[in-house]
Structure 1
Amino acid sequence: MNFLRYILFPIVPIYYLVTWLRNKLYDFGIKKSKSYGLPVICVGNLSVGGTGKTPMIEYLINLLKNDYLVATLSRGYKRKTVGFQLANEGSTVESIGDEPFQFYNKFKNKVYVAVDTDRNNGIKQLRSMTNPPEIILLDDAFQHRKVKAGFNILLTTYNNPYYKDIVLPTGNLREPRSGAKRAHIIMVTKCPKDLHESEKKTILQQINPEINQQVFFSSISYSNNVVSANTTRSIEELGEFTLVTGIANASPLVGFLNGKGLKFEHLHFKDHHEFSKQDILELNKRALIVTTEKDFMRLKQYRSLKNKLFYLPISMDVNDEIKINKLIQDFLKSRN
């Protein structure tokens, strides 16, 4: 906790009360939530910062894309456009945001990727298409209660779980911990690969899920290969390189690379960093650059970096994949 957050502690009860009251107004139907006839799955968190929403959305896309026409709907954080935008061949990070741009680049022939700060309008626009989606995945919309999703997946990290945190501005929670009760699935993300069953049991006791909730544990797997615009190479073949990250928490990635005994310099920027001309001039001085897939979406537009820029793919491994897949499929069958 930095000093500024510490001195802002007197504001915590006010923030708590405002967000708690807002949720109660929705719970009691005073403020209205809109439901939809098609399945809407929301992925979100209680905390600010990275909890693994992008890998979770990609997990769901891979699970569903062969059986359903899927759309993702995000707000498009830090984009330069307004209103509803449907990703197409002319889309850029500036027009739809880095994470939606990543979804589009990876799945563009299989899913719709849309952005709109007004999720209800975004859903309306998607449903008005000639060939509308059968499922909509709401990215980072747990607090967007104007839409009542049929299925809520709440993410919380192993190292910074919501049940040990408090609300902003001193803590990192966007709303009180009681908001977790709206979730159907609670996913503890970024767990160690060797997480012991006894520790899982302790975490379950701390979460104390409702009778209708299921708790799962997941970890991040890093590829042994890095990918550029033109080729794929083993990361061990690179030699020394510069690691460039603009994500909320780069520690797991740094730990993975250190664990492989690789030599690298780490340039760490804030989450969703917009690279300036000066940043690019500095990066041009580096011989080889490894970055995250999200940052690659921002950097690949610079031709001077084309032959030296690689990203390290990641994926989400869920401890009980069969069970979580069945829960999601059962939800979809109940809605169809």
Structure 2
Amino acid sequence: MYGKSVKINHWLIPVSWLYGLGVEIRNKLFDWGILPAEEFDIPVISVGNLAVGGTGKTPHIEYLIELLGHKYHIAVLSRGYKRKSRGFILADDKSTAREIGDEPYQIKRKYPNITVAVDANRRRGIKQLKKQIPDIDVILLDDAFQHRYVTPLSSIVLTDYNRALHLDKLLPAGRLRESRHELSRANMVIVTKCPIDMKPIEYNIISRWLHLFPYQNLYFSTLSYGHLQAVFPDTAIGEISLKDISRKDGLMVVTGIANPAPMLQYISHFHDLREKLLYPDHHNFTSNDLNDITTRFSALKGEKKYIITTEKDAARLRSVPFDDAIKKALYFLPIHVRFMQHTGTSFDEKISDIIYKNRRSKQVKK
């Protein structure tokens, strides 16, 4: 059911009014041109959301990388949330999750041939990318819908099927960073994490509730899961599937993401999950966490024992000094974006056409 997980802290609504007033004033200053927004002579695509965390930005960024990577030199520019560094950093094969953040680290590790950089100041980051790597064709801005100092060529906003915008409230009562009416700034809206068996009537209901304008394109996507992959491939036995794990084997899940529910639900189709360690989003694993994971793992019963985590958590767990028994047992479950209603082709063509026309118009002007 659409929006089923929306929970509101009603006693904080007066604080949300004050927060909303500040956000509205800031947006008006950009709308009126008092705060400057800069447009660049290179295609910039922003992927963001109105709510905090858990909408699936990283898988959708990866979808765009795979869509465009064979044609263009792509750069991904992220804030690098919770990194232990500052300023502009250009990632390389020696970069760590602590240095650039877990999501940029995941992307760089997964796609070593693309350019990945982090900078909280997106204008400065874009200028540095253009200066250091002049042949970049396209820049993907990760989590930048609220960063209005940059005017992107196209702005994609993601909203979670499980947390309906029209039922949500501004921070801190709800999880909205800004009013849902600001959705009008987006060119494309994607309702993410939709159930695979979503009924046709739901598409129409959600479309009406979002109140999009004619210039905005609406898409629906779901997440599909791949085979388990080893977090420490030099130690583990290799790629396996959940079907390969017997119900007689011991199994526990460790996550540090905003919403682990879809993953837990998927795994529960194969196994009765009894052991779960669920940490907050972007959790930095400590020595106490190491002890907790080790203790829980040791207590597992079964012919074989496994620990399953997310791909994003794997980026941080690789730096934890686990013993060989846990390294051998630790796997992550990769996720992939799949568009619904056969709209993937339409989305692909729209993005490709936007970039092609922009690059062509720049060449004509030259």
1: CA distance, partners of 2:70 / 2:194: 29
1:200-279 mapped onto 2 (5 Å cutoff): 200-230=203-233, 231-238=238-245, 239-279=249-289
Moved over 6 A (4+): none
C-alpha root-mean-square deviation of aligned residues, in Å?
Answer: 1.5
Instruction: Give the alignment partner of residue 132 of structure 1, picking from 127, 131, 135.
Output: 135
Tell me, what secondary structure is at the counterpart of 2:240? strand
Contact 1:241–1:289 (8 Å) recurs in 2: yes
Instruction: Give the alignment partner of residue 57 of structure 2, picking from 53, 60, 69.
Output: 53
1: CA distance, partners of 2:169 / 2:13: 10
Which residue identity is paired with 1:218?
S
- Report deviation, 1:271: 0.3
List runs of 5+ in structure 1 lacking aligned partners: none
- Report deviation, 1:261: 3.2
TM, length-normalised to structure 2: 0.88
Contact 2:49–2:158 (8 Å) recurs in 1: yes
1:45-99 CA-to-partner distances (Å, cap 9, x unmatched) read 0001210101110000000000000000001011111100111122001100000
Which residue identity is paired with 2:147?
H
Instruction: Give the alignment partner of residue 18 of structure 1, picking from 15, 18, 22.
Output: 22
2: CA distance, partners of 1:14 / 1:105: 41
1: CA distance, partners of 2:227 / 2:274: 16
Corresponding residue number in structure 2 for 1:154: 157
Matched, 1:291 2:312: no
1:1-336 mapped onto 2 (5 Å cutoff): 5-109=9-113, 111-230=114-233, 231-238=238-245, 239-285=249-295, 286=297, 287-301=305-319, 302-304=321-323, 305-319=326-340, 320-336=343-359
Select the structure of larger CA radius of gyration.
2
2: CA distance, partners of 1:6 / 1:210: 30
Which residue identity is paired with 1:290?
I
Over 3 Å counting, the alpha-carbon distance change for 1:263 and 1:167 in structure 2 is closer
- Report deviation, 1:208: 1.5
Moved more, 95-104 or 278-287: 278-287
Number of equivalences: 334
List runs of 5+ in structure 2 lacking aligned partners: 1-5, 298-304, 360-366
Contact 1:43–1:139 (8 Å) recurs in 2: yes
1:194-237 CA-to-partner distances (Å, cap 9, x unmatched) read 11111100100111211100100000101243434322112233
1:287-325 CA-to-partner distances (Å, cap 9, x unmatched) read 421100000111122352422211011101012100001
- Report deviation, 1:265: 1.1
Tell me, what secondary structure is at the counterpart of 2:132? coil
TM, length-normalised to structure 1: 0.96
Tell me, what secondary structure is at the counterpart of 1:307? helix
Which residue identity is paired with 1:54?
T
Contact 2:308–2:332 (8 Å) recurs in 1: yes
Which residue identity is paired with 1:246?
G
